[in-house]
Every structure is written in C-alpha cells, then in structure tokens.
C-alpha cells in the first residue's frame, strides 16, 4: 500500500500514542501484580481512543471522502512476472 496516507493524521498519531502509553502502564503494573494500576492503564488506553475520536470530529483526522477502498486488479490485466534464469 505504498502511497497510502491511512492513519497519518494528528488525530491518529495522538490516539495511538496515548493508547501505547496506556498499554505500557498496564503491562508494567501487570508484571508488578497490581490490579489497580493495570486497570488505570486500561483506562488510559480507552482515553486514547476517545481523544482520537474527538480530534477527528474537530477536523484533525482524515476526511470521509479520503477513505477510498482499493479495488483488486483483475487477473487478466496483471503484468506477467519474468522467470529468473
């Protein structure tokens, strides 16, 4: 998918970064056997998704028209692959 700009927006980067931090928090507290810290980390993960959706609603995500689904190329139109010799 070279040339695709899927997810390369401030909303996506911010949401994923916050969720990643939440996973790190939850993982650290899981290793330390602290359930409250683990669930606090999971709250941060959900917060990352909420922040991403809010930023998208503010216009910092991809526009709806940019979500074009690529169509597969029919077999008859594909270029033959040269055999290595």
Whether 21 has a pLDDT exceeding 60, the answer reads: yes
Backbone φ, ψ for residue 29 (5° rounding): -75, -25
> How far is 36 from 46, CA to CA, in rounded Å?
15
**Contacts of 17 by beta carbon, 8 Å cutoff, 6+ apart:** 48
Question: Which position has the higher pLDDT, 5 or 79?
Answer: 79
Residue-wise pLDDT for 25-80, tens only, equals 999 999 999 999 999 999 999 999 999 999 988 888 887 665 556 666 666 666 66
Asked if residue 42 lies in contact with residue 23, where contact means CB atoms within 8 angstroms, the answer is: no
Q: Give CA separation, 23 vs 44, 50, 53, 58, 75, in Å.
A: 8, 15, 18, 25, 42
The model scores a pTM over 0.75:
no
Sequence spans of domains, the chain: 9-56
């Amino acid at each position: 998918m070279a040339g695709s700009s899927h997810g390369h927006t401030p909303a996506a980067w911010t949401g994923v970064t916050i969720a990643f931090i939440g996973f790190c928090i939850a993982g650290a507290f899981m290793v330390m056997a602290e359930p409250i810290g683990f669930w606090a980390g999971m709250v941060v993960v959900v917060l990352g998704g909420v922040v991403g959706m809010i930023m998208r609603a503010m216009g910092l995500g991809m526009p709806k028209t940019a979500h074009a689904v690529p169509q597969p190329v029919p077999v008859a139109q594909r270029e033959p692959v040269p055999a290595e010799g």
